[in-house]
Amino acid sequence: MNILYFDCFSGVSGDMLLGALAALGADLSLVEKELNQILPQPVGLKVKRVVVQGIASSDVTVENTSSAVFAGLDEVKNILESSHLSDDEKAAAHEVFTRLAASEARVHGIPIEAVHFHELGAIDTLVDVIGFLLALRQLNINIMYCSPLPMPRGLVKMAHGQYPLPAPATLELVKGIPCYGVDADIELVTPTGAAIVGTLCQGFGTFPSMTIGEVGYGAGKSTRSDVPNLLRAVLGTAAQSQLKEEVIAVIETSIDDMSPEYFSYLFERFYEMDGALDLSVQNIIMKKNRPGFQVTCLVRPDNIHSFADLLLTETSTLGVRYRLESRLVQPRHTEEVVTPWGKAVIKVWKTGDGSVRVAPEYESCRALARRAGIPLQQVVNQIMGSYCR
Protein backbone atom coordinates (compact mmCIF):
# COMPACT_ATOMS: atom_id res chain seq x y z
CA MET A 1 0.00 0.00 0.00
CA ASN A 2 1.40 3.41 -1.02
CA ILE A 3 1.30 6.09 1.68
CA LEU A 4 1.78 9.82 1.09
CA TYR A 5 2.60 12.17 3.98
CA PHE A 6 2.58 15.97 3.68
CA ASP A 7 4.94 17.72 6.09
CA CYS A 8 3.54 21.27 6.13
CA PHE A 9 6.34 22.86 8.18
CA SER A 10 5.94 26.08 6.15
CA GLY A 11 2.29 25.79 5.18
CA VAL A 12 0.37 24.40 2.24
CA SER A 13 -1.17 25.82 -0.94
CA GLY A 14 -2.45 24.48 -4.23
CA ASP A 15 0.73 25.23 -6.18
CA MET A 16 2.92 23.79 -3.40
CA LEU A 17 0.91 20.55 -3.51
CA LEU A 18 1.31 20.30 -7.29
CA GLY A 19 5.02 21.06 -6.98
CA ALA A 20 5.51 18.39 -4.33
CA LEU A 21 3.79 15.75 -6.48
CA ALA A 22 5.89 16.80 -9.48
CA ALA A 23 9.03 16.40 -7.35
CA LEU A 24 7.87 12.88 -6.48
CA GLY A 25 7.66 11.97 -10.15
CA ALA A 26 4.22 13.02 -11.38
CA ASP A 27 4.37 14.15 -15.03
CA LEU A 28 2.59 17.51 -15.07
CA SER A 29 2.76 17.69 -18.88
CA LEU A 30 0.28 14.79 -18.91
CA VAL A 31 -1.76 16.56 -16.24
CA GLU A 32 -1.82 19.67 -18.42
CA LYS A 33 -3.16 17.71 -21.40
CA GLU A 34 -5.96 16.23 -19.31
CA LEU A 35 -6.80 19.61 -17.79
CA ASN A 36 -7.24 21.11 -21.24
CA GLN A 37 -9.77 18.38 -22.02
CA ILE A 38 -11.74 19.30 -18.89
CA LEU A 39 -11.55 23.08 -18.46
CA PRO A 40 -13.41 25.60 -20.65
CA GLN A 41 -10.28 27.76 -21.15
CA PRO A 42 -6.78 26.61 -22.14
CA VAL A 43 -4.18 26.52 -19.38
CA GLY A 44 -0.53 25.66 -19.07
CA LEU A 45 1.55 24.25 -16.23
CA LYS A 46 5.10 25.54 -16.04
CA VAL A 47 7.37 23.43 -13.84
CA LYS A 48 10.89 24.52 -13.00
CA ARG A 49 13.50 23.28 -10.58
CA VAL A 50 14.47 25.85 -7.96
CA VAL A 51 16.72 25.81 -4.92
CA VAL A 52 15.17 27.35 -1.82
CA GLN A 53 17.63 27.96 1.02
CA GLY A 54 19.74 25.07 -0.19
CA ILE A 55 16.90 22.60 -0.84
CA ALA A 56 16.09 21.56 -4.42
CA SER A 57 12.37 21.76 -5.11
CA SER A 58 9.75 22.05 -7.86
CA ASP A 59 7.99 25.34 -8.54
CA VAL A 60 4.69 25.16 -10.45
CA THR A 61 3.07 28.17 -12.13
CA VAL A 62 -0.34 28.12 -13.79
CA GLU A 63 -0.19 29.90 -17.15
CA ASN A 64 -3.65 31.23 -17.91
CA THR A 65 -4.55 34.15 -20.15
CA SER A 66 -8.25 34.07 -19.25
CA SER A 67 -9.65 36.21 -16.45
CA ALA A 68 -12.93 34.29 -16.37
CA VAL A 69 -14.58 33.86 -13.01
CA PHE A 70 -17.33 31.28 -12.72
CA ALA A 71 -20.74 32.13 -11.35
CA GLY A 72 -20.54 29.74 -8.44
CA LEU A 73 -20.60 26.19 -7.21
CA ASP A 74 -23.19 24.96 -9.72
CA GLU A 75 -21.07 25.99 -12.70
CA VAL A 76 -17.99 24.33 -11.24
CA LYS A 77 -20.05 21.20 -10.57
CA ASN A 78 -21.18 21.13 -14.22
CA ILE A 79 -17.54 21.27 -15.36
CA LEU A 80 -16.71 18.33 -13.10
CA GLU A 81 -19.73 16.26 -14.14
CA SER A 82 -18.99 16.66 -17.85
CA SER A 83 -15.33 15.67 -17.41
CA HIS A 84 -13.67 12.29 -17.92
CA LEU A 85 -12.65 12.11 -14.24
CA SER A 86 -13.54 8.92 -12.41
CA ASP A 87 -16.57 8.96 -10.11
CA ASP A 88 -14.30 9.00 -7.05
CA GLU A 89 -12.27 11.91 -8.46
CA LYS A 90 -15.43 13.87 -9.30
CA ALA A 91 -16.78 13.30 -5.80
CA ALA A 92 -13.49 14.38 -4.20
CA ALA A 93 -13.24 17.53 -6.34
CA HIS A 94 -16.86 18.42 -5.66
CA GLU A 95 -16.32 18.05 -1.92
CA VAL A 96 -13.25 20.31 -2.04
CA PHE A 97 -15.15 23.04 -3.88
CA THR A 98 -18.18 22.65 -1.62
CA ARG A 99 -15.96 23.17 1.42
CA LEU A 100 -14.42 26.25 -0.20
CA ALA A 101 -17.85 27.69 -0.97
CA ALA A 102 -19.19 26.86 2.49
CA SER A 103 -16.24 28.61 4.16
CA GLU A 104 -16.83 31.80 2.15
CA ALA A 105 -20.56 31.61 2.85
CA ARG A 106 -19.94 31.42 6.61
CA VAL A 107 -17.43 34.28 6.55
CA HIS A 108 -19.72 36.62 4.58
CA GLY A 109 -22.96 35.46 6.17
CA ILE A 110 -24.67 34.47 2.93
CA PRO A 111 -26.20 31.24 1.57
CA ILE A 112 -23.78 28.91 -0.17
CA GLU A 113 -25.79 29.29 -3.39
CA ALA A 114 -25.05 33.03 -3.39
CA VAL A 115 -21.27 32.68 -3.19
CA HIS A 116 -19.48 34.41 -6.08
CA PHE A 117 -15.85 34.65 -5.17
CA HIS A 118 -12.35 34.49 -6.56
CA GLU A 119 -11.19 31.48 -4.53
CA LEU A 120 -13.87 29.22 -6.00
CA GLY A 121 -14.23 30.85 -9.40
CA ALA A 122 -10.66 31.48 -10.50
CA ILE A 123 -9.41 29.05 -13.14
CA ASP A 124 -6.22 28.65 -11.07
CA THR A 125 -8.18 26.99 -8.28
CA LEU A 126 -9.76 24.53 -10.70
CA VAL A 127 -6.27 23.72 -11.97
CA ASP A 128 -4.94 23.24 -8.42
CA VAL A 129 -7.75 20.91 -7.32
CA ILE A 130 -8.26 18.86 -10.48
CA GLY A 131 -4.55 18.85 -11.28
CA PHE A 132 -3.78 17.51 -7.81
CA LEU A 133 -6.20 14.61 -8.30
CA LEU A 134 -4.76 13.80 -11.74
CA ALA A 135 -1.17 13.85 -10.41
CA LEU A 136 -2.24 11.73 -7.47
CA ARG A 137 -3.62 9.12 -9.86
CA GLN A 138 -0.22 8.84 -11.57
CA LEU A 139 1.52 8.11 -8.28
CA ASN A 140 -0.99 5.38 -7.34
CA ILE A 141 -1.52 6.67 -3.81
CA ASN A 142 -3.69 4.55 -1.49
CA ILE A 143 -3.82 6.75 1.60
CA MET A 144 -2.68 10.23 2.61
CA TYR A 145 -1.77 11.81 5.93
CA CYS A 146 -0.78 15.35 6.83
CA SER A 147 1.08 17.11 9.62
CA PRO A 148 -0.59 19.74 11.82
CA LEU A 149 -0.83 23.11 10.05
CA PRO A 150 1.09 26.29 10.99
CA MET A 151 -1.03 29.40 11.65
CA PRO A 152 0.66 32.82 11.11
CA ARG A 153 -0.25 36.26 12.48
CA GLY A 154 -0.62 39.78 11.08
CA LEU A 155 -2.56 41.17 8.11
CA VAL A 156 -2.74 40.26 4.42
CA LYS A 157 -4.25 42.11 1.45
CA MET A 158 -7.15 40.24 -0.16
CA ALA A 159 -10.01 40.96 -2.55
CA HIS A 160 -12.10 42.61 0.19
CA GLY A 161 -9.24 44.60 1.75
CA GLN A 162 -6.86 43.95 4.64
CA TYR A 163 -7.69 40.68 6.40
CA PRO A 164 -6.20 39.14 9.54
CA LEU A 165 -4.02 36.07 9.35
CA PRO A 166 -4.94 33.30 9.25
CA ALA A 167 -7.49 34.36 6.64
CA PRO A 168 -11.10 33.99 7.85
CA ALA A 169 -11.93 31.43 5.14
CA THR A 170 -8.83 29.42 6.02
CA LEU A 171 -9.84 29.30 9.69
CA GLU A 172 -13.24 27.97 8.68
CA LEU A 173 -11.59 25.28 6.57
CA VAL A 174 -9.18 24.07 9.26
CA LYS A 175 -11.88 23.45 11.86
CA GLY A 176 -11.20 20.01 13.34
CA ILE A 177 -7.60 19.97 12.02
CA PRO A 178 -4.68 20.23 14.48
CA CYS A 179 -2.93 23.61 14.12
CA TYR A 180 -0.20 25.56 15.91
CA GLY A 181 0.90 29.20 15.93
CA VAL A 182 4.11 30.45 14.31
CA ASP A 183 5.87 33.82 14.28
CA ALA A 184 5.29 34.66 10.62
CA ASP A 185 3.35 37.50 8.99
CA ILE A 186 2.62 35.96 5.58
CA GLU A 187 -0.15 33.64 4.47
CA LEU A 188 1.14 30.10 4.99
CA VAL A 189 -2.01 28.02 4.57
CA THR A 190 -4.26 29.09 1.69
CA PRO A 191 -7.95 28.21 1.49
CA THR A 192 -7.29 25.93 -1.49
CA GLY A 193 -4.47 24.11 0.30
CA ALA A 194 -6.56 23.72 3.46
CA ALA A 195 -9.56 22.46 1.50
CA ILE A 196 -7.51 19.86 -0.39
CA VAL A 197 -5.71 18.34 2.59
CA GLY A 198 -8.76 18.70 4.83
CA THR A 199 -10.88 16.75 2.36
CA LEU A 200 -8.48 14.12 1.07
CA CYS A 201 -6.13 13.30 3.97
CA GLN A 202 -7.23 10.49 6.28
CA GLY A 203 -5.51 11.88 9.35
CA PHE A 204 -3.39 14.71 10.77
CA GLY A 205 -0.52 14.09 13.11
CA THR A 206 3.00 12.77 13.39
CA PHE A 207 4.89 10.85 10.73
CA PRO A 208 3.08 7.60 9.89
CA SER A 209 4.75 4.20 10.06
CA MET A 210 6.09 3.34 6.59
CA THR A 211 9.15 2.46 4.55
CA ILE A 212 10.24 5.68 2.84
CA GLY A 213 10.67 5.54 -0.92
CA GLU A 214 10.77 9.10 -2.29
CA VAL A 215 10.90 12.64 -0.89
CA GLY A 216 9.86 15.73 -2.85
CA TYR A 217 9.57 19.45 -2.12
CA GLY A 218 7.04 21.87 -3.60
CA ALA A 219 7.98 25.56 -3.58
CA GLY A 220 5.69 28.36 -2.46
CA LYS A 221 5.58 31.83 -4.01
CA SER A 222 6.35 33.81 -0.83
CA THR A 223 9.80 34.28 0.65
CA ARG A 224 10.67 33.62 4.28
CA SER A 225 13.97 34.45 5.92
CA ASP A 226 13.62 32.03 8.80
CA VAL A 227 12.22 28.85 7.22
CA PRO A 228 12.31 27.69 3.57
CA ASN A 229 8.84 28.21 2.08
CA LEU A 230 8.43 24.60 1.00
CA LEU A 231 6.00 21.73 1.35
CA ARG A 232 7.64 18.35 1.89
CA ALA A 233 5.93 15.24 0.54
CA VAL A 234 7.12 11.79 1.59
CA LEU A 235 6.06 8.74 -0.40
CA GLY A 236 6.42 5.27 1.08
CA THR A 237 4.92 1.85 1.49
CA ALA A 238 3.21 0.30 4.47
CA ALA A 239 4.46 -2.92 5.96
CA GLN A 240 2.46 -5.99 5.01
CA SER A 241 0.09 -5.96 7.92
CA GLN A 242 -3.61 -6.08 8.58
CA LEU A 243 -3.23 -3.47 11.29
CA LYS A 244 -5.01 -0.18 10.78
CA GLU A 245 -3.10 3.00 11.60
CA GLU A 246 -5.00 5.96 13.00
CA VAL A 247 -4.36 9.20 14.84
CA ILE A 248 -5.87 9.73 18.29
CA ALA A 249 -5.68 12.47 20.91
CA VAL A 250 -4.35 11.83 24.42
CA ILE A 251 -5.64 14.21 27.11
CA GLU A 252 -4.11 14.06 30.60
CA THR A 253 -4.37 15.82 33.91
CA SER A 254 -3.02 15.19 37.42
CA ILE A 255 -5.25 15.68 40.47
CA ASP A 256 -4.43 15.60 44.20
CA ASP A 257 -7.39 17.42 45.76
CA MET A 258 -10.50 15.49 44.70
CA SER A 259 -12.44 12.68 46.36
CA PRO A 260 -11.96 9.37 44.49
CA GLU A 261 -15.70 8.69 44.59
CA TYR A 262 -16.25 11.37 41.94
CA PHE A 263 -14.37 9.32 39.34
CA SER A 264 -17.33 6.98 38.97
CA TYR A 265 -19.47 9.80 37.61
CA LEU A 266 -16.61 10.99 35.39
CA PHE A 267 -16.42 7.54 33.79
CA GLU A 268 -20.18 7.59 33.12
CA ARG A 269 -20.05 11.02 31.51
CA PHE A 270 -16.95 10.15 29.46
CA TYR A 271 -18.40 7.08 27.76
CA GLU A 272 -21.65 8.89 26.96
CA MET A 273 -19.81 11.37 24.71
CA ASP A 274 -19.04 11.14 20.99
CA GLY A 275 -15.39 10.36 20.28
CA ALA A 276 -14.68 8.56 23.56
CA LEU A 277 -12.16 5.72 23.19
CA ASP A 278 -10.72 4.92 26.62
CA LEU A 279 -10.36 6.43 30.08
CA SER A 280 -7.94 5.35 32.80
CA VAL A 281 -6.98 6.62 36.26
CA GLN A 282 -3.61 5.79 37.86
CA ASN A 283 -2.25 6.40 41.35
CA ILE A 284 0.76 8.76 41.36
CA ILE A 285 2.83 10.78 43.83
CA MET A 286 2.72 14.51 43.13
CA LYS A 287 4.47 17.60 44.48
CA LYS A 288 4.99 17.85 48.25
CA ASN A 289 4.81 14.03 48.26
CA ARG A 290 1.04 14.08 47.95
CA PRO A 291 -0.76 10.99 46.63
CA GLY A 292 -2.82 11.83 43.57
CA PHE A 293 -4.34 10.53 40.37
CA GLN A 294 -3.34 10.81 36.73
CA VAL A 295 -6.38 10.85 34.46
CA THR A 296 -5.73 9.80 30.85
CA CYS A 297 -8.36 10.10 28.12
CA LEU A 298 -8.01 8.62 24.63
CA VAL A 299 -10.37 10.41 22.24
CA ARG A 300 -10.89 11.23 18.57
CA PRO A 301 -8.89 14.35 17.54
CA ASP A 302 -12.03 16.25 16.53
CA ASN A 303 -13.34 16.06 20.10
CA ILE A 304 -10.36 17.37 22.10
CA HIS A 305 -12.08 20.51 23.39
CA SER A 306 -15.26 18.68 24.40
CA PHE A 307 -13.33 16.25 26.61
CA ALA A 308 -11.11 19.02 27.98
CA ASP A 309 -14.30 20.81 29.05
CA LEU A 310 -15.51 17.57 30.66
CA LEU A 311 -12.36 17.26 32.79
CA LEU A 312 -12.47 20.93 33.75
CA THR A 313 -16.14 20.59 34.73
CA GLU A 314 -16.25 17.21 36.48
CA THR A 315 -12.89 17.24 38.26
CA SER A 316 -10.99 19.75 40.38
CA THR A 317 -8.25 20.31 37.80
CA LEU A 318 -7.52 23.78 36.40
CA GLY A 319 -5.84 22.62 33.19
CA VAL A 320 -5.14 19.66 30.93
CA ARG A 321 -2.37 18.50 28.61
CA TYR A 322 -3.02 17.00 25.19
CA ARG A 323 -1.06 15.55 22.29
CA LEU A 324 -1.68 13.61 19.09
CA GLU A 325 -0.37 10.06 18.80
CA SER A 326 -0.46 7.36 16.15
CA ARG A 327 -1.70 3.90 17.04
CA LEU A 328 -2.15 0.55 15.30
CA VAL A 329 -5.40 -1.32 15.82
CA GLN A 330 -6.60 -4.74 14.75
CA PRO A 331 -9.62 -4.57 12.40
CA ARG A 332 -12.54 -6.41 13.93
CA HIS A 333 -16.26 -6.97 13.51
CA THR A 334 -19.11 -8.17 15.70
CA GLU A 335 -21.30 -11.23 15.32
CA GLU A 336 -24.26 -12.67 17.20
CA VAL A 337 -24.30 -16.17 18.68
CA VAL A 338 -27.31 -17.99 20.10
CA THR A 339 -27.18 -19.31 23.68
CA PRO A 340 -29.84 -21.11 25.77
CA TRP A 341 -30.53 -17.73 27.44
CA GLY A 342 -30.72 -15.57 24.32
CA LYS A 343 -28.44 -13.92 21.77
CA ALA A 344 -25.00 -12.63 22.70
CA VAL A 345 -22.53 -10.39 20.86
CA ILE A 346 -18.89 -11.31 20.24
CA LYS A 347 -15.92 -9.54 18.67
CA VAL A 348 -14.13 -11.42 15.87
CA TRP A 349 -10.73 -10.63 14.34
CA LYS A 350 -7.86 -12.23 12.45
CA THR A 351 -4.29 -12.22 13.70
CA GLY A 352 -1.21 -11.72 11.54
CA ASP A 353 -0.86 -15.47 10.94
CA GLY A 354 -4.44 -15.71 9.69
CA SER A 355 -5.93 -17.42 12.73
CA VAL A 356 -9.34 -16.25 13.96
CA ARG A 357 -9.89 -15.06 17.51
CA VAL A 358 -13.08 -14.16 19.34
CA ALA A 359 -13.99 -12.37 22.55
CA PRO A 360 -17.47 -12.10 24.08
CA GLU A 361 -18.72 -8.56 24.71
CA TYR A 362 -18.89 -8.03 28.46
CA GLU A 363 -22.16 -6.08 28.54
CA SER A 364 -23.88 -8.71 26.41
CA CYS A 365 -22.70 -11.52 28.72
CA ARG A 366 -23.59 -9.53 31.82
CA ALA A 367 -27.16 -8.97 30.62
CA LEU A 368 -27.67 -12.69 29.93
CA ALA A 369 -26.17 -13.72 33.28
CA ARG A 370 -28.39 -11.29 35.20
CA ARG A 371 -31.50 -12.32 33.29
CA ALA A 372 -30.87 -16.06 33.75
CA GLY A 373 -29.53 -15.79 37.31
CA ILE A 374 -26.39 -17.76 36.47
CA PRO A 375 -22.64 -17.09 36.86
CA LEU A 376 -21.07 -14.78 34.28
CA GLN A 377 -18.35 -17.35 33.55
CA GLN A 378 -20.99 -19.92 32.59
CA VAL A 379 -22.33 -17.55 29.93
CA VAL A 380 -18.83 -16.87 28.60
CA ASN A 381 -18.02 -20.60 28.41
CA GLN A 382 -21.28 -21.31 26.58
CA ILE A 383 -20.61 -18.53 24.04
CA MET A 384 -17.06 -19.66 23.33
CA GLY A 385 -18.18 -23.27 22.97
CA SER A 386 -21.04 -22.33 20.63
CA TYR A 387 -18.78 -20.27 18.37
CA CYS A 388 -16.04 -22.89 18.19
CA ARG A 389 -18.55 -25.54 17.15
Q: Are 83 and 35 in contact (CB under 8 A)?
A: no
pLDDT of residue 117: 47
Domain total of the chain: 3
Say if residue 133 is in the same domain as residue 200.
yes
List of residues 6+ apart from 75 with CB closer than 8 A: none
Say if residue 200 is in the same domain as residue 275.
no
pLDDT of residue 76: 87
Lowest-confidence segment of 106-110, 177-181, 257-261 by average pLDDT: 106-110
Q: Report the half-sphere exposure of 293 (CA within 13 A, side-chain side).
A: 18
Say if residue 273 is in the same domain as residue 223.
no
- Residue 356: strand pairing partners: 350
Say if residue 79 is in the same domain as residue 204.
yes
Give pLDDT tens digits for 318-343.
999 999 898 888 888 898 888 999 99
Average pLDDT over residues 98-106: 91
Residue 66 has pLDDT above 70, yes or no: no
| CATH number of the domain encompassing residue 323 | 3.30.70.1380
Question: Which residue type occupies 63?
Answer: E
If one counts every other C-beta atom within 10 angstroms of the C-beta of residue 44, the result is 15
Say if residue 102 is in the same domain as residue 210.
yes
Say if residue 93 is in the same domain as residue 215.
yes
Give the residue from 189, 211, 237 where a domain finishes: 237
| CATH number of the domain encompassing residue 365 | 3.10.20.300
Q: Quick check: helix, strand or coil at residue 39? A: coil
Residue 298 has pLDDT above 70, yes or no: yes
List of residues 6+ apart from 54 with CB closer than 8 A: 228
Average pLDDT over residues 229-248: 86
Say if residue 24 is in the same domain as residue 160.
yes
**Given CA atoms 141, 144, 147, 149 in this order, what sign does their dihedral have?**
positive
Give pLDDT tens digits for 335-383.
888 899 999 999 988 877 677 888 999 999 999 999 999 999 999 999 8
Give the residue from 213, 237, 261 where a domain finishes: 237
Average pLDDT over residues 25-39: 95
Domain range for 127 is: 2-237
Number of residues written out for the chain: 389
Q: Are 139 and 17 in contact (CB under 8 A)?
A: no
Say if residue 233 is in the same domain as residue 258.
no
Q: Is 288 left (phi over 0), alpha (psi -120 to 50) or beta?
A: left
Say if residue 111 is in the same domain as residue 199.
yes
Compute the distance between CA of residue 39 and CA of residue 75 in angstroms, rounded to an integer: 12
Say if residue 307 is in the same domain as residue 351.
no
Say if residue 142 is in the same domain as residue 251.
no
DSSP for residue 340: T
If one counts every other C-beta atom within 10 angstroms of the C-beta of residue 155, the result is 11
Q: What is the pTM of this model?
A: 0.67
List of residues 6+ apart from 373 with CB closer than 8 A: none
